Amino acid sequence: MLNQEVYDKVAAKFAETFGSEPATVAYAPGRIEVLGNHTDYNEGYVFSAAIDKGTFFAASPSDDGKVTLVALDMGETYSCPLAEVAPVKEGATWANYPLGTFSWLFDGEPAKAGKGFKAVFGGNIPLGAGLSSSAALEMATALALAKVYGIEKDRTALAKIGQKAEHTFAGCPCGLLDQASSMYGEDGALVKSDFRSNTFETVKMGPSVAFMMVKSNAKHALVDGAYASRRKACEDAAKYFSGVLRKKVTHLRDVTMAEWVLYRGGLSETTARRAVHPIGEDERVIQGAALLEKGDLSGFGALMYDSHESSRNWFENSCEELDTIVDAAKAIPEVYGARLSGGGFGGSCCLLVDPAAAEKISSAIKREYKAKHGDEPVCSLIRPSAGARIVK
C-alpha cells in the first residue's frame, strides 16, 4: 500500500486511543495543479494530478453521543457532543475540515446522524505547501464517514461536500479543484476537469516524466482575503462582459482573449488584469490537451511557463520566492516547464521534469534560491497517483 508507514501509525494510534480497531480507514491524496490556475470558480478547465502523498482517516461509530477527532500529526484531540457540531472559531480550528464534511454529509444537520463517531487521522502532505492537505482530509473524512453511516454518494457529490465544508466551516471560498483532483486521480495521469459540467477525465502523461514540487519558505495562506478579492474581481469582470458582448456570459469561461483585448477598456485596470489570467489559462489548458495527445512535453511545459508569467504579471498571486524558483528552472534543460501551484501567495511551484535528473534539478534550484533568500526550499519528486479510496 502507498504510504504504508503512515497507515500503520494511524491504525496504531486508533487502537491505543479507543481500544479497538477502526471500522473503516479511508485514504485521500493531496494534489498538484499543473495548468489552469484560478479557473475552477470561473467554470473553466484545469489540469491537475493526485499525488503520492496523502491522508488516512480511521473511524468507527461511537455510543457516547460525541464526535471525537484525534489529529495524529499535531498531537491534539477535539471532542464535542453530536448536537453541538459547529465551526470551531478558536483553538483547534483544524477540526473544521472533518467537522464540516461530517455536517454536510447530513445536509448541514449532523444531529440526524443519530450517533457520533471517533476518528484518528494523519498524513504526510507538507502543510502550507499548496498541495491541498485540507482537501485530502475532507475527502478521506467523506469516504470513511459515508462508509460508517451507510451513505451512498458518488465522487463528485463527495467532492462538493468537502468544498462546502471549506466554505462554511473553514471560511475559505475555494473552488472544486482540490477535492475533485483528490477524488479522480489516476496513476501516471493528469486529471482534466471541466468545472462548467463538473466532469472529469484522465489523460496519460507517459512513464518518462514526473513532477517536482519545490516548496518555498514563503507563507502560504488563502483565508486572509487575497483569494476572495481575486475571486470577486473575476465575478465583477464576468458581469461587465455579459453587458457588452452579444452573447451569453455567466463566467469568464465564456470570454475569449480577443474579446478581453477589445473590451477591457470598460474595466478598471486592476479588474482587467485579474480577468485576463483565467481567460488565458482556459486557452492554455485546451492547447495543452492537444499537445499531450501528440506527446509534446516541451510544448506543454512552455504553457506552464506562460501560466506562471500570467500569475506574476496579471493576477499577482505569485511572490519573489516563487519567481526565483521558476526563473532558476528555466535554465535547466531537464525541466520542461514550471509554474506556481494552487492559490499562490506562497506555497510551492510545480515543475515538469525528467525524473532521471531529479538530483541535478534539486541542487541547481536550491543553490539559486539560497543565494537570493538565504535558506533552501524543499524539493520533492512526485508521481501522479491514484485518487481517494477506502483501504480498510
Catalytic residues: 178
Pairing, β 117-123 against β 66-71: parallel
Asked if 39 contacts 254 with a C-beta cutoff of 8 angstroms, the reply is no
Sheet (strand 378-382) strand order: 335-341, 348-353, 210-215, 378-382
For residue 164, the tally of other CB atoms under 10 A from its CB is: 18
Beta bridge partners of 121: 57, 71
**Contacts by 315-318, CB closer than 8 A, 24 or more apart:** 315/37, 315/38, 315/230, 315/273, 315/274, 315/277, 315/344, 316/273, 317/37, 317/38, 317/226, 317/230, 317/343, 317/344, 317/345, 318/344
Taking each helix axis as running N to C, give the angle between helix 320-330 and helix 297-310, from 0 to 180 degrees, rounded to the nearest 10.
150
Helix segments in the chain, DSSP class H: 4-18, 96-105, 133-149, 155-165, 177-184, 226-244, 257-263, 269-293, 297-310, 320-330, 358-373
C-alpha grid cell, residue 79? 471532542
Amino acid at 267: L
Angle (CA) 121-22-141 rounded to 5° is 40
Are 34 and 49 contacting, i.e. CB atoms less than 8 angstroms apart?
Answer: yes
How many other CB atoms sit within 10 Å of the CB of residue 202?
18
Nearest partner of 343 among 61, 134, 141, 52, judged by Cα: 134
